[in-house]
Amino acid sequence: MICGGIDIGGTKIEARLFSDDLATVEMRRIATPKDSLSDFIDALAEQVRWLEQLSGEAQSLPIGMAIPGLIDAQTGRAFTSNLPASGHDIGLLLSNGIARRLPLMNDCQAFALSEANGGAGEGCRSVVGLIMGTGVGAGLTIDGRLTERFNGSALEVGHIGIPAHVLVPRDLPIWPCGCGKHGCFEQYVSGNGLAALGSHRLGRPLKAEEIVASAMSGQADHMALLSEWAHIAAELLLIIQLGHDPDCIVLGGGLSGIPDVVPMLEKPFQSLLLGEMRMPFIRTAIHGDSSGARGAAIMATRQLS
């Protein structure tokens, strides 16, 4: 079944039309209106109409949408920090312009669903899709399907507090997080977290890309930073393993593009596992940028079937 997916981000709204084997046929990005709710809904409607016309299926084309944030399962309202529609039922507002209601999901959940179905987690029973980019979040699938989430949230592992045994021996501060708490993993293992770690250690502003590039060229202090980042990120993998025990963790987001990121994480992760625990597969995502839209499209087709 051909289908469409719309990945809604803070800077762009990306629509993709997928073939019946879930390959991208065509993609179109437009800028996300940042200040006006009605402009934002109009932009979404424009992407929906583009998909409907392109497919030739009009309103019978299954289309799903993914956003970074929480969707309240009881009220349908979405809560997200970067969109003018936060606090609103996006599907309901959009339905006024397109005469139907489209399903909406969290983008980390969409990522996990996409990678568990024809992606890097294909063939594994329990797959965690972990995004490490600007933020850190994850989704969980069992047998290729998402699990029910009481609060409509992703696995918000980026906002789990980092354990004292990680911070104290490294003499790292407890950094505040955008969520209002302090010491969240996201502040240490996201792209910004890697940059903060670098700035803290070397005493000057650094960007994550710069640290990775310098480490790859053999600069010793940056190699040490990347190694420290990997050890802290492995502590997050351990928490995921202890909580969910997946047989596969698929990495996505900008930091999953670090060369040799899998062995870099596997080594400290292996040393942290308890007793006879076996290591799950750690893999990088296959579908990359298309995962949000692809996962949302999978959800939309399943709602029809």
135 binds Zn ion (CB under 5 A): no
Q: What gap in Å lies between CA 86 and CA 172, rounded to an integer?
A: 34
Find the binding residues for Zn ion in span 139-198 (CB under 5 A).
159, 177, 179, 181, 184
Q: What gap in Å lies between CA 267 and CA 273, rounded to an integer?
A: 11
Which C-beta is closer to Zn ion: that of 152 or that of 183? 183
Q: How far is the CB of 69 from Zn ion (least distance, A)?
A: 14
Q: 229 near 197, Cβ under 8 Å?
A: yes
Q: How far is the CB of 168 from Zn ion (least distance, A)?
A: 20
Q: What is the DSSP string of 53-76?
A: HHHT-GGGS-EEEEESSEE-TTT-
Q: 263 near 226, Cβ under 8 Å?
A: no
Q: Which residues contact 40 (CB under 8 A, 6 or more apart)?
A: 32, 33, 83, 84, 85
Which C-beta is closer to Zn ion: that of 107 or that of 186? 186
Give the torsion sign (CA, 251, 111, 81, 46). Answer: positive
Q: Look-up: residue for tokens 């393993």? A: 241
Which C-beta is closer to Zn ion: that of 3 or that of 157? 157
Q: How far is the CB of 134 from Zn ion (least distance, A)?
A: 13
136 binds Zn ion (CB under 5 A): no
Q: What gap in Å lies between CA 250 and CA 285, rounded to an integer?
A: 6
Q: How far is the CB of 194 from Zn ion (least distance, A)?
A: 16
Which C-beta is closer to Zn ion: that of 180 or that of 263? 180
* Number of residues near Zn ion (by CB under 5 A): 5
Q: How far is the CB of 193 from Zn ion (least distance, A)?
A: 11
Q: 12 near 305, Cβ under 8 Å?
A: no
Which C-beta is closer to Zn ion: that of 184 or that of 248? 184
Q: How far is the CB of 182 from Zn ion (least distance, A)?
A: 8
Which C-beta is closer to Zn ion: that of 29 or that of 181? 181
- Which residues here bind Zn ion, judged by CB under 5 A? 159, 177, 179, 181, 184
